[in-house]
C-alpha cells in the first residue's frame, strides 16, 4: 500500500494547524506541540484506514492479476464385468474362478486415447493384478485370497499403457464344484492318515515300553504289576507265575527254572496224576519248553475239575462220577479219552483188593500216621489212599 500526495498533504495540514493556532492565541509551546502531534497521528491513521479499505477495482493505479485457468472436468467412471476368469493357484490343476465389477475411466489428455478399447484395457489390468496376488495361494485358502483381492484391487491404478485408470469391486474367488469335492476328500484322507499315524506311533511306543522295559525279565514284570496295584501284595504273589510266562513269551524264551514251579497249569501235571509225584514238580534241567496242550490230558483236567467242585478221591461220589464220565465218552465214541481216564483214575481189581486190606488195617491205626500228599489233589488235608474199586452197578448207574 502506497500513500499518495493528497493524503500526505492532508496529514501535514492537520499537524500544522495546532501550531499556527497556538501562536496566534499565544498558547504555551507544550500545549500547541502536544496538539500538533495528536492531530498528525490521528490524520495519519485515518488516511491509512481509508486507503487500505478501498477495493482493487476502485484503485485506478492497481494492476489486475490474471485468474488461473479452470481445471478440465474429470470424466465419470464407467463399469464393466469380468466373470469366472481362471487364475492359477499354487497347486497345478486347481484354478481359481475370479469375478468382479471393473470401474474405469480414460486418462485425461492421453494421445493414444481409444474409447472402444478402454473396457478391454481395464479388464486386462484388473485380471493381471489379481493374477499376481493369487498365484501363490493354496486352493483351500480361496476365502482368504478374496479378502486380499478386495483390498488390492480397490485402489485405482492406470494400466500398463497408461490409457485407462481401473479399479474393481464386488470381487469373488471360488473353485469349481469338482475341485472343491476333491479338496474335501483329500483333506479328510490327510486328517485320517495323520490320526492313524499318531495311533501307530502310540502303539509302537507302547510295545517298546512293554517289551524293552516292563517285560525285560519276570522281576521287572512283577515290579510293574505291583506298581499298578500297590495294595494287592497277596495277589502279586499269585501273579508271579503268569507274569513269568508272559515275560518269557515276549522274548521268545523258555520260562526260567526259578519260576517253573509257579506256572499255571503246573509243569508235570500228568506225572502227578499218574505217578504220585508232586503236582508242582520241576520237570528237570533237561526238559524242553512247557507245552500246555501236551502236558495236560483228559485225566488231568478231570482231576482238576473234581477238585474244584470239592469231590475228593476218598469219597464214593468220586468213583461214581469218574465211571459216568468214562461211559459218556464211550457212548460218544471218544475211546482214547475214556481209556486214558479209566487207566489213570480207576483202580484195577488188584489195586482194589490191596486198598481194601489197607483200609481194614488202617481202621485200628492212628489216622495221623503215614499221611502223605495226595497225587490227585493239591490240598494235603485228605487221606492218601487211592479210591476203592467201584461197587456193583445198579439199575440207576446203567441208566
Q: Which residue has the cell 492359477?
A: 88
- Rounded (10°) CA dihedral 375, 377, 383, 388: -70
- Structural domain span for residue 171: 78-180
How many domains would you assign to the chain?
A: 2
Among 81-90, 135-144, 304-313, name the one with the lowest average pLDDT.
Answer: 304-313
- Digit-coded pLDDT (tens) for 69-82: 655 566 788 889 99
Least confident range from 49-63, 130-144, 187-201, 319-333: namely 49-63
Asked which of 131, 155, 180 is the last residue of a domain, the reply is 180
Mean pLDDT in the chain?
Answer: 75
Whole-number pLDDT of residue 270 = 41
- Within a domain: 174: yes
**Residue 32 domain flag:** yes
Per the CB < 8 A criterion, the answer to whether 359 and 388 are in contact is: yes
Whether 96 and 9 share a structural domain: no
Q: Are 11 and 40 in contact (CB under 8 A)?
A: yes
Residue 53 in any domain: the answer is: yes
Residue 205 backbone phi and psi in degrees, to 5? -65, -40
Cell of 189: 484322507
The answer to whether residues 30 and 96 belong to one domain is no
pLDDT in tens, 212-251: 888 888 899 999 999 988 888 888 888 888 888 888 888 8
Same domain, 83 and 171: yes
Please tell me whether residues 47 and 91 are part of one structural domain: no
The candidate with the shortest Cα–Cα distance to 164, out of 123, 104, 124, is: 104
My answer on whether 144 and 91 are in the same domain is yes
Q: What is the DSSP string of 159-211?
A: -TTSSEEEEEEEEEEE--HHHHHHHHHHHHHHHHHHHHHHHHHHHHHHHHHII
- Whether 371 is in a domain gets the answer no
The verdict on 96 and 176 lying in the same domain is: yes
Q: Which of 180, 202, 225 is the last residue of a domain?
A: 180
What is the C-alpha radius of gyration for the chain, rounded to an integer number of angstroms? 61
Same domain, 96 and 166: yes
276-321 residue pLDDT tens: 444 444 444 444 444 444 556 788 888 888 888 888 888 888 888 8
Specify the pLDDT at position 265: 57
Q: Same domain, yes or no, for 125 and 172?
A: yes
pLDDT in tens, 268-278: 444 444 444 44
Q: Domain end: 154, 180, 206, which one? A: 180
Q: Would you say residue 313 lies in a domain?
A: no
**CA-wise closest residue to 287 among 256, 332, 251:** 256
128 within some domain: yes
What was the pLDDT predicted at 364? 38
At a CB cut-off of 8 Å and minimum separation 6, what does 86 contact?
95, 96, 97, 98
State what percent of residues in the chain have pLDDT above 70.
69
Residues 151 and 118 in one domain: yes
In a domain, 234, yes or no: no
Q: Using the predicted structure, report yes or no on whether residue 390 has a pLDDT greater than 50.
A: no
Do residue 112 and residue 147 come from a single domain?
Answer: yes
Residue 49 has pLDDT above 90, yes or no: no
102 lies in the same domain as 35: no
104, part of any domain: yes
Task: Please report, for the domain that includes residue 131, its CATH number.
Answer: 3.30.479
Average pLDDT over residues 107-120: 69
The dihedral through the CA atoms of 158, 161, 163, 168 has a sign that is: negative
Confidence of residue 370 (pLDDT cuts 50, 70, 90): very low
Are 311 and 318 in contact by the 8 Å Cβ rule? The answer is yes
pLDDT digit string (tens) for 175-190?
Answer: 999 999 999 999 999 9
What does the DSSP 8-state code read for residue 82? E
Same domain, 95 and 132: yes
Amino acid at each position: 500500500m502506497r500513500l499518495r500526495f493528497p493524503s500526505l498533504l492532508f496529514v501535514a495540514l492537520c499537524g500544522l494547524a495546532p501550531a499556527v493556532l497556538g501562536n496566534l492565541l499565544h498558547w504555551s509551546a507544550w500545549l500547541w506541540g502536544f496538539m500538533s502531534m495528536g492531530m498528525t497521528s490521528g490524520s495519519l491513521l485515518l488516511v491509512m484506514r481509508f486507503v487500505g479499505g478501498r477495493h482493487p477495482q476502485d484503485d485506478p493505479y492497481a494492476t489486475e492479476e490474471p485468474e488461473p485457468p479452470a481445471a478440465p472436468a474429470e470424466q465419470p467412471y464407467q463399469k464393466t464385468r469380468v466373470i469366472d476368469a481362471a487364475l492359477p493357484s499354487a497347486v497345478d490343476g486347481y484354478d481359481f474362478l475370479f469375478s468382479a465389477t471393473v470401474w474405469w475411466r480414460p486418462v485425461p489428455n492421453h494421445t493414444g486415447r481409444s474409447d472402444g478399447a478402454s473396457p478391454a484395457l481395464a479388464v486386462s489390468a484388473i485380471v493381471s493384478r489379481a493374477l499376481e496376488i493369487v498365484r501363490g495361494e493354496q486352493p483351500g485358502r480361496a476365502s482368504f485370497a478374496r479378502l486380499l483381492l478386495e483390498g488390492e484391487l480397490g485402489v485405482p491404478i492406470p494400466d500398463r499403457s497408461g490409457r485407462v485408470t481401473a479399479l474393481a469391486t464386488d470381487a469373488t474367488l471360488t473353485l469349481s464344484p469338482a475341485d472343491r469335492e476333491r479338496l474335501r476328500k483329500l483333506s479328510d484322507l490327510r486328517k485320517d492318515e495323520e490320526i492313524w499315524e499318531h495311533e501307530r506311533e502310540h502303539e509302537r511306543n507302547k510295545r517298546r515300553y512293554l517289551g524293552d522295559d516292563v517285560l525285560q525279565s519276570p522281576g521287572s514284570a512283577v515290579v510293574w504289576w505291583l506298581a499298578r496295584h500297590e495294595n494287592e501284595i497277596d495277589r502279586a504273589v499269585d501273579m508271579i507265575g503268569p507274569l513269568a510266562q508272559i515275560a518269557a513269551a515276549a522274548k521268545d524264551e523258555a520260562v526260567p527254572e526259578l519260576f517253573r514251579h509257579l506256572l499255571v497249569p503246573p509243569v508235570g501235571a500228568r506225572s502227578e496224576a499218574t505217578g504220585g509225584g508232586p503236582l508242582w514238580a520241576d520237570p528237570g534241567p533237561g526238559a524242553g519248553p512247557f507245552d500246555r496242550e501236551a502236558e495236560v490230558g483228559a485225566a488231568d483236567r478231570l482231576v482238576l475239575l473234581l477238585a474244584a467242585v470239592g469231590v475228593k478221591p476218598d469219597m464214593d461220589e468220586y468213583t461214581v462220577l469218574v465211571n459216568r464220565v468214562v461211559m459218556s465218552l464211550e457212548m460218544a465214541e471218544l475211546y482214547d479219552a475214556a481209556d486214558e481216564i479209566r487207566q489213570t483214575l480207576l483202580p484195577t481189581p488188584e489195586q482194589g483188593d490191596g486198598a481194601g486190606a489197607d483200609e481194614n488195617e488202617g481202621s485200628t491205626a492212628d489216622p495221623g500216621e503215614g499221611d502223605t500228599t495226595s497225587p490227585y489233589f493239591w490240598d494235603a488235608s485228605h487221606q492218601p489212599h487211592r479210591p476203592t474199586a467201584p461197587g456193583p452197578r445198579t439199575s440207576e448207574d446203567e441208566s
